[in-house]
Chains A and B, each alone.
Chain A
């Protein structure tokens, strides 16, 4: 809503407030003013002139030489380039010394040898927005109405010395979609009273009901319909002051009748519609829902296919207009219109909203109906417009309003106590202070002896339905700044992270300590990307697809974090950063429903990606590329920190798009049995190639099982009191035997006396043959309560070795 300062001052005294001050006051009261814009873009000294003569320029085809009376002692000679200049016109004249927007100073000049004592201006040259000008004024010089006083300042004539306040309204304050609503708001803020416009109608003796009938069939969608009949109008331009105000509000003037409906809509917030009464068959108005397949050509010339939920104004047969949204072409007011059927109605907001949405047709009218109009202004607005049509379109307003009321508006009565107001706000407002605030709002109220305000809320404030709504009015008019600052009373509460939150923070800390950067990716991705790692994405699951994605690239919810980590690696590689060590903690979305009927499962996951070098070459070490064991070391550190290393094992696995010989499933042994909770490994060489990446190692792991099984309890074990014995073994066996299996065998055979076992060397070489490797293990034996004897360790160790020899066809290396 754009509010002209000068126009607003018709309804409320603004003395003492500049536009800026008014904007500040309103903003602090909750009506945000985005900007205060002056309508004067830099015009000084331009006056109204009367073109006395117009001659062709002797030396230039396109120029005219005019004599113009500007009310001064001398008639001016002005050379003009506009085609539409003619003798007898009233025009804006920039005389010598005046200035136009853009600091364009007018000087004495000679054009093709002829002296010019000024310039006749177009609307655009005066800084008016040409999109808002009536069509006939968009080209050439601005021709003013006949009778515009010669010599008058153009600033007054076009009302340019005005400021426009742009209101950024919240949805609850649709009452300020009208000049009167804004006036009431300013009144509440300043304590000044509102002056209502004059809407007295001088009815002629002839009865409107003889020409018009109204019937509402759709009583839930049309709550009130009123009409007047204005006879014998003369269509022409509306008065300049009205055009000025419409333009200030951002509406283009069209003709007097249409301009009046728009003007009154801006004044009251009540949309109006003028039909050419002679094109409404039988003067019959029937308000009903559209039939399936019905078609209407709207004022903008478009054919609209209608649906049964749309509300129509009809003549009983054909549609005349889309109620509250846009009129129809067939009953449009034109230059030849003589009689007007004027509509003022109250339509259901939801119905209008749905129609407007579906047709992509938003109008000043539909916006107001959607948010709800004041039921008490339907008739006053109708009268006001009729009165203006009598005055400015020479019409005769026939006697009486023809109407049907489908639903009596409910009067809102809201109670609130002084005690509740103060308890809710933490204030100590007195009875008098609250009375003053309701008084300024012009909310009639009664106050009982025990402090209950019974407020009869005016229908213009449809947002006041509960006590808290009134409390907000009190709060904002008292001033939020004047509400005290207090601490919360009552028992203190302990604040803490939940276990999953604490775990995620710990993961972040450990991973960043290990040199990885955390990333955050979009949750939306391309459907193809969800197929990249079926083992992680759940091959049997469906991606969740957005109903109306912004692009196919972001049309489904991610099912794995890895595809986007790859994209991030590629993004950085393309920016000459080949060494990427990143991780993300976030949700993936899984469902087994092709069409969702319930929320998808959201799973928190951790994903890690390493590619390129772990460190650059430095003076004391060479550049080293990341390898599988860097990644595995990270995984091992994390599970150790979470206290679950004892229940995690790693098994060779071959999921799709991963290197079949360099990938492990991460298996958690928990109460539910063994569960694969993630994978880690190298990308398949072809996948690397597809992404143009060097060797890349990735990990993705489900966090929920870790949230469940993580164990932060530290239980101290006393330090060993008896010495340990260390024995090493080196065995030669087939290459494919996994070290993990050897260790498991050692642990099983050695039992409780084994304190630790560690692989300290792996050797392959020609001496052993291509299919063989040597694995060296270091075992530590210890008894908690006594010193082990050499004999018993030798015996136990012998069993360990024998078992290895038997189980893995291992040969002890000597």
Chain B
């Protein structure tokens, strides 16, 4: 019997060497090791053996089974590996083809810049106030120390609807509305963004409709040095830490003292270039200490409180920030223009 078992081992191993498919492998497993397989068949004759021979033959039978099983397992592992490799090869794709995406749209550059400015001031503790674009003459002019025949109204050629109602020429009326709403309380710390309108012929640098952002701070002891400090903080957050400011005396009816503010040229860093007309400075802001008349009309006592205000044109800052050459692009809404502002 032992000879038969050894012969079976040789035969089985030989046959297994020839296997080249998982199916064949399975067939051989059944043929040799199955319930009706060759090995079982041989071992079924163990009953006729003597008590001495039986464990010896049993031992041999187990060895033969183990040897066959080992080869089958090795073969099976090899088949699985090959199959996985095949599958991966079949599934390989071209990773350079474009993905499925929704191409992003863009926030309008003017709103993008306005939001950025708003966020800087929110970080500095300001809230955002808004007001109507169609205003009364009172809020737009009179309450800002510009009575009807004030010479400074020369500076603001306006779109009137009636004698007393007009398109606001600046966002300053929101300051007055804010003061009135505060009812004499301090501190006031607001910025007022919005559209404004002036009778101006459109060209590369002028638009009859444009956007402003104004700021107003009122408190018991607000100083001009605080105004400088605030503006410096703002421009450094907006344009970078190296940015400096320069104030030049100017005139606005609603502030006294008044100043124009220049910042270090964003293009050349102050060395002088075409953008800053070789001065190293760019004018971006008007500001000043709130005129006592304006405080009075807003319901404050100028002996008790003081304040500062500042205002800037959003278009101007967007033009500088992005290097845009013509203000009219902002309002023609050409998609080739708008789609350039998708970045965060």
Q: List A residues at the B interface (Cβ < 8 Å).
A: 27-30, 32, 170-174, 349-350, 353-354, 370-371, 423-427, 466, 468-469, 471-472, 475-476, 480-481, 483-498, 500-501, 505, 508-509, 511-524, 544-550, 554, 557, 568, 571-572, 575, 577, 580-582, 587, 589, 595-597, 599-600, 602, 615, 618-621
**CB of B105 within 8 A of chain A?**
yes
Complex: chain B residue closest to A476, CB-CB: B249
B256 touches A472 (CB 8 A): yes
A546 touches B306 (CB 8 A): no
B223 touches A582 (CB 8 A): no
Residues of chain A contacted by B136 (CB below 8 angstroms): 599
Complex: chain B residue closest to A497, CB-CB: B128
A-B contact pairs, 16 of them (CB 8 A): A28-B249, A171-B152, A353-B149, A371-B151, A495-B124, A497-B122, A500-B130, A520-B330, A521-B331, A523-B209, A544-B161, A577-B335, A581-B105, A582-B335, A589-B133, A621-B100
Interface residues of B in 209-232 (CB under 8 A from A): 209, 217, 219-226, 228-230, 232
Distance in angstroms between the alpha carbons of A469 and B221 in the assembled complex = 18
Residues of chain A contacted by B250 (CB below 8 angstroms): 30, 32, 170
A370 touches B257 (CB 8 A): no
B115 touches A505 (CB 8 A): yes
Residues of chain B contacted by A512 (CB below 8 angstroms): 104-107, 342
Distance in angstroms between the alpha carbons of A362 and B172 in the assembled complex = 30
Distance in angstroms between the alpha carbons of A515 and B108 in the assembled complex = 13
Complex: chain B residue closest to A581, CB-CB: B105
B105 touches A575 (CB 8 A): no
B228 touches A485 (CB 8 A): yes
- Knowing A29-B249, A424-B289, the reply to whether A483 touches B224 (Cβ < 8 A) is yes
Complex: chain A residue closest to B202, CB-CB: A550
A486 touches B229 (CB 8 A): yes
**CB of B58 within 8 A of chain A?**
no
Residues of chain A contacted by B222 (CB below 8 angstroms): 488
Residues of chain B contacted by A29 (CB below 8 angstroms): 249
From A487, A490, A491, A501, contact of B128 by CB (8 A): A501
Distance in angstroms between the alpha carbons of A349 and B151 in the assembled complex = 9
- Closest chain-A Cβ to B154's Cβ sits at a distance in Å of 6
B249 touches A490 (CB 8 A): no
Distance in angstroms between the alpha carbons of A349 and B152 in the assembled complex = 13
Complex: chain A residue closest to B139, CB-CB: A599
Distance in angstroms between the alpha carbons of A70 and B167 in the assembled complex = 66
A487 touches B229 (CB 8 A): yes
Distance in angstroms between the alpha carbons of A371 and B105 in the assembled complex = 51
- Knowing A424-B306, A518-B111, the reply to whether A472 touches B249 (Cβ < 8 A) is yes
Interface string of B189-206 (1 = CB under 8 A from A): 100000101010100000
A618 touches B165 (CB 8 A): no
A485 touches B107 (CB 8 A): no
- Knowing A495-B121, A514-B105, A602-B132, the reply to whether A490 touches B221 (Cβ < 8 A) is yes
From A423, A426, A495, A619, contact of B123 by CB (8 A): A495
Residues of chain A contacted by B258 (CB below 8 angstroms): 472
Residues of chain B contacted by A618 (CB below 8 angstroms): 98
Distance in angstroms between the alpha carbons of A351 and B268 in the assembled complex = 49
From A171, A349, A490, A524, contact of B155 by CB (8 A): A171
A495 touches B127 (CB 8 A): yes
**CB of B160 within 8 A of chain A?**
yes
Distance in angstroms between the alpha carbons of A582 and B106 in the assembled complex = 9
Q: Secondary structure of the B side of the interface?
A: mixed
- Knowing A471-B257, A571-B333, the reply to whether A520 touches B108 (Cβ < 8 A) is yes
Residues of chain A contacted by B199 (CB below 8 angstroms): 548, 550
- Closest chain-B Cβ to A158's Cβ sits at a distance in Å of 31
- Closest chain-B Cβ to A480's Cβ sits at a distance in Å of 4
A481 touches B246 (CB 8 A): yes
Residues of chain B contacted by A498 (CB below 8 angstroms): 127-128, 130
Residues of chain A contacted by B289 (CB below 8 angstroms): 424, 468
Distance in angstroms between the alpha carbons of A475 and B105 in the assembled complex = 48
A519 touches B225 (CB 8 A): no
Distance in angstroms between the alpha carbons of A495 and B188 in the assembled complex = 11
B247 touches A480 (CB 8 A): yes
- Closest chain-A Cβ to B194's Cβ sits at a distance in Å of 9
Residues of chain B contacted by A468 (CB below 8 angstroms): 256-257, 289, 291-292
Residues of chain B contacted by A621 (CB below 8 angstroms): 100
A557 touches B134 (CB 8 A): yes
A426 touches B149 (CB 8 A): no
A596 touches B165 (CB 8 A): yes
A170 touches B251 (CB 8 A): yes
Interface residues of B in 94-124 (CB under 8 A from A): 97-98, 100, 102-108, 110-111, 115, 118, 121-124
Residues of chain B contacted by A596 (CB below 8 angstroms): 161-162, 165
Interface residues of B in 155-177 (CB under 8 A from A): 155, 159-162, 165, 167
Complex: chain A residue closest to B123, CB-CB: A495
**CB of B332 within 8 A of chain A?**
yes
Residues of chain B contacted by A476 (CB below 8 angstroms): 249, 257
Interface string of B223-246 (1 = CB under 8 A from A): 111101110110000000000001
Count chain B CB atoms within 10 A of each CB in A172, A173, A174, A580 and give the residue with the most.
A172
A426 touches B249 (CB 8 A): no
- Knowing A28-B248, A596-B162, the reply to whether A495 touches B122 (Cβ < 8 A) is yes
Complex: chain A residue closest to B97, CB-CB: A619
Distance in angstroms between the alpha carbons of A598 and B226 in the assembled complex = 38
- Knowing A547-B161, A602-B134, the reply to whether A484 touches B104 (Cβ < 8 A) is no
- Closest chain-A Cβ to B67's Cβ sits at a distance in Å of 52
From A488, A515, A522, contact of B230 by CB (8 A): A488
Residues of chain A contacted by B150 (CB below 8 angstroms): 171
Count chain A CB atoms within 10 A of each CB in B110, B221, B291 and give the residue with the most.
B221
A488 touches B229 (CB 8 A): yes
A495 touches B220 (CB 8 A): no
Distance in angstroms between the alpha carbons of A379 and B195 in the assembled complex = 49
B104 touches A599 (CB 8 A): no
A582 touches B209 (CB 8 A): no
Distance in angstroms between the alpha carbons of A754 and B208 in the assembled complex = 57
- Closest chain-A Cβ to B177's Cβ sits at a distance in Å of 12
- Knowing A426-B226, A491-B187, A602-B134, the reply to whether A511 touches B334 (Cβ < 8 A) is no
B160 touches A513 (CB 8 A): no
Distance in angstroms between the alpha carbons of A549 and B127 in the assembled complex = 35
- Closest chain-A Cβ to B87's Cβ sits at a distance in Å of 22
Count chain A CB atoms within 10 A of each CB in B124, B208, B223 and give the residue with the most.
B223
**CB of B79 within 8 A of chain A?**
no
A582 touches B161 (CB 8 A): no
- Knowing A468-B257, A488-B230, A517-B335, the reply to whether A546 touches B161 (Cβ < 8 A) is yes
From B100, B165, B251, contact of A171 by CB (8 A): B251
From A423, A493, A516, A521, contact of B221 by CB (8 A): A423
- Closest chain-A Cβ to B308's Cβ sits at a distance in Å of 9
**CB of B4 within 8 A of chain A?**
no
B189 touches A493 (CB 8 A): yes
Residues of chain A contacted by B123 (CB below 8 angstroms): 495
- Closest chain-A Cβ to B284's Cβ sits at a distance in Å of 16
Distance in angstroms between the alpha carbons of A30 and B248 in the assembled complex = 6
A523 touches B128 (CB 8 A): no
Complex: chain A residue closest to B147, CB-CB: A350
Complex: chain A residue closest to B132, CB-CB: A602
Count chain B CB atoms within 10 A of each CB in A170, A350, A471, A492 and give the residue with the most.
A170
**CB of B125 within 8 A of chain A?**
yes
B209 touches A517 (CB 8 A): no
B125 touches A493 (CB 8 A): yes
Distance in angstroms between the alpha carbons of A577 and B333 in the assembled complex = 12
Residues of chain B contacted by A518 (CB below 8 angstroms): 105-108, 111, 338
Distance in angstroms between the alpha carbons of A793 and B183 in the assembled complex = 63
From A353, A480, A587, contact of B248 by CB (8 A): A480
Complex: chain B residue closest to A556, CB-CB: B161
- Knowing A30-B250, A468-B257, A515-B105, the reply to whether A571 touches B228 (Cβ < 8 A) is no
Residues of chain B contacted by A554 (CB below 8 angstroms): 208
A475 touches B249 (CB 8 A): yes
A550 touches B221 (CB 8 A): no
A520 touches B160 (CB 8 A): no
